[in-house]
Amino acid sequence: MNRIAVYCGSATPDDPRYVTLARDVGAALAQRGIGVVYGGGQLGLMGALASGALAAGGEVIGVIPAALDRAEIANPHCTRLHVVRTMHERKQMFADLADGFLTLPGGVGTMDELWEAVSWAQLGYHAKPVGLLNAFGFFDHLLAFNRHMQATGFIRPVHCGILLAEPDLDLLLARMAGHVPPVPILTMPAGDL
């Protein structure tokens, strides 16, 4: 993987572990020679991620919609900063520029990005790994809900392995590197749907 799209919050939680985590992930990716594609802001976890990667000499590509340019305070220190018109263009550019997706803690926008990456993999719009760093157990309930969707049959057995979740970055990156795409819905016979 040459570049990973990293989804994370633009907020700064009271618990400093989250900002430290984002900074450390940015640095770790840069040290591995993996470029970061992210939301382009300089606040919260997004800003910490970019700072960590840049301080370690990494490539950081920001993608921010014009409407959020001021609200999220676009990061002028990015290696490259793309200002796009819409959130749809932002997410499409993430997919176009990255070889995989990595989600850190965040809120509604982060969840939107994560589930779109999972949905697109399930459909076959991309064949890239989708990783979830479950640091501090942040995503425990989300992972339980994902298992519930599987158990009730809303996620087909062939697609149960799309979301790769680990509490450790090294292990998660190794699983992402070894990712084998599932049979996508777009190529499945109608009888298998």
- This prediction has a pTM of 0.95
Burial code of 165-181, b = ≥16 C-beta within 10 A, e = fewer?
bbeebeebbeebeebee
Residue 126: closest CA among 99, 102, 104: 99
Residue 30: closest CA among 47, 52, 14: 52
Q: What would the pLDDT profile of 79-118 be if each residue is shown by its tens digit?
A: 999 999 999 999 999 999 999 999 999 999 999 999 999 9
Q: Is the pLDDT of residue 72 over 70?
A: no
Give me the percent of the chain exceeding a pLDDT of 90. 91
Domains of the chain by range and CATH?
3-180 (3.40.50.450)
H/E stretch holding 16: none
Q: What would the pLDDT profile of 111-169 be if each residue is shown by its tens digit?
A: 999 999 999 999 999 999 999 999 999 999 999 999 999 999 999 999 999 999 999 99
